[in-house]
Amino acid sequence: MSGGLPNASASARADGALSVWRHPRPDGAHGLCVGARCDLPVARRRAKRLARRIQAHARRHRLPHVVWTSPLRRCADVGRWLKRWGWRHHQDAALAELDFGDWDGRPWAGIPKAEIDAWVADFARFAPAGGEALTTLLARASAWSGGALVVSHGGWMLARRWSAEHPGELPRADQWPRPPAYGERWAL
């Protein structure tokens, strides 16, 4: 496993396309603000099921057996299954979810309305105390250049897609789409 991007060219597709899966539904996330600091587990069978889908996709498209994941358990556990089956598994913090700082792991209902209103008013630039702004995630996601098969987070996937479809534009809260479903694959 790796924390950076060495040997990325060994797993990159010639056409530059990424297949990115959102991690399986984590345990205990309901009603919580879940970001980069909230390292929730995923049920073993859900992680294994997504790993099997990634394995089938790689076989169908004749892709190298190399997967890149966020280091958070909800993503990395999928990579660990693939590693058990002979794959190379790289972890990269650049694939992590938005860092919600002091909000991370708290119930959404427990975050003061004034803070949520400040975020909505300056959606791309606001950062919760100790966290990162969406502009940071947009830059991190758009700059990532690892391999062709990735397991990441809904926020990361949205940021990557937004950057590709709206170069140089910052989103407003009312423009930000819903995240993909758990386990959903996007070609980015």
Instruction: Give the start-to-end residue ranges of the domains of the chain.
Output: 9-187
What is the arithmetic mean of pLDDT over 14-39? 92
What is the arithmetic mean of pLDDT over 159-170? 97
Q: What is the pLDDT of residue 3?
A: 36
Predicted confidence (pLDDT) at residue 1 exceeds the cutoff of 80: no
Instruction: Check if the beta carbon of residue 134 is closer than 8 Å to that of residue 36.
Output: no
Closest CA relative to residue 145, chosen from 1, 2, 7, 51: 7
Could you tell me the pLDDT band of residue 2, with boundaries at 50, 70 and 90?
very low
> Which CATH code is given to the segment(s) 9-187?
3.40.50.1240
The amino acid present at 6, given as its one-letter code, is P
Q: What is the pLDDT of residues 27-44, one digit of tens each?
A: 999 999 999 999 999 999
Pairing, β 66-69 against β 149-152 = parallel
Predicted confidence (pLDDT) at residue 123 exceeds the cutoff of 70: yes
Q: What is the pLDDT of residue 44?
A: 98
Closest CA relative to residue 155, chosen from 78, 94, 81: 94
The rounded distance, in Å, linking the Cα atoms of 138 and 21 is 18
The helix (run of H) or strand (run of E) holding residue 188 is none
Q: 59: helix, coil or strand?
A: helix
What is the arithmetic mean of pLDDT over 132-160? 97
Cα 94–99–102 angle (5° rounding)?
Answer: 160
Instruction: Check if the beta carbon of residue 69 is closer than 8 Å to that of residue 124.
Output: no
The rounded distance, in Å, linking the Cα atoms of 21 and 181 is 9
